[in-house]
Structure 1
Amino acid sequence: MSPVFAHGHLRLSLLSMLADRPMHGYELIQALGERFGGAYVPSAGTVYPRLAKLEAEGLVTKTADGRKTVYAITDAGRAELDARAEELAAIQSGVADSVRTLADGVRASVGEAMRSLRADLAASAQAPRGQTADEPEDVPTAGAGALREVEMAVASFRQQVRADLRRRATRGTLTDDTVTRLRDGLEALRRSL
Structure 2
Amino acid sequence: FIAYANLTKYSLTYLNKIIIRAQEKNDNIKGYISSLSQEELDSNVEEQFQAKITFGQKIADAVAKFGGSWTFIISFILLMAAWMLVNQLHLFGLHFDVYPFILLNLAISTLAAVQAPLIMMSQNRAAEYDRLQAQNDFKVNKKSEEEIRYLHAKLDHIVQQDQSELLEIQRLQTEMLASISHQLSRLEKEKS
Larger Rg: 2
**Does the TM-score normalized on the shorter chain lie above 0.5?**
no
TM-score (norm 1): 0.32
Give the strand-richer structure, 1 or 2. Answer: 1
TM-score (norm 2): 0.32
Give the helix-richer structure, 1 or 2. Answer: 2
Report 1 or 2 for greater relative contact order, CA contacts < 8 Å, sequence distance ≥ 6.
2
